[in-house]
């Protein structure tokens, strides 16, 4: 299968997009695009804690999308990012 390479918007590392999380902008709101199917302006972030945390704490998406994204939206996104990690969480 062909690899599709994307750049992480936090650390600028390039890697196969299937190992990355897609975030998308629709109507000036950002969403975690779990299925990688939403339309809208997408950006990618590594599926690792340091990039996910920096994405939120440094409000990287404000720069990516040139918008002033509210703290509530970041909070919601942060929760979704942690849920998405899910697999290795203990029940
Ligand atoms: Zn990264």
Contact 47, 20 (CB under 8 A): yes
Interval between CA 74 and ligand 1 midpoint (Å): 17
* Confidence category of residue 89, pLDDT binned at 50, 70, 90: very low
- Separation of 15 CA from ligand 1 center, angstroms? 9
Q: pTM of this prediction?
A: 0.82
Provide CATH code, domain 5-84. Answer: 3.30.1230.10
At 2 the pLDDT is: 83
CA 3–ligand 1 middle distance (angstroms): 17
Q: What is the pLDDT of residue 85?
A: 56
User: For ligand 1, a single-atom ion, which residues have Cβ within 5 Å?
Assistant: 8, 10-11, 46, 51
Q: Indicate the pLDDT class of residue 84, thresholds 50, 70 and 90.
A: low
Percent of the chain scored above 90 by pLDDT? Answer: 66
Measure the CA–CA gap between 22 and 77, rounded to whole angstroms.
12
Q: Which residue ranges make up each domain of the chain?
A: 5-84
């Amino acid at each position: 299968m062909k690899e599709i390479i994307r750049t992480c918007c936090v650390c600028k590392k390039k890697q196969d997009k299937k190992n990355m999380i897609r975030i998308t902008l629709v109507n000036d709101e950002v969403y975690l695009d779990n299925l990688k199917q939403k339309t809208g302006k997408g950006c990618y972030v590594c599926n690792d804690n340091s990039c996910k945390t920096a994405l939120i704490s440094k409000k990287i998406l404000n720069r990516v999308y040139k918008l002033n994204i509210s703290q509530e939206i970041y909070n919601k996104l942060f929760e979704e990012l942690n849920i998405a990690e899910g697999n290795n969480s203990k029940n």
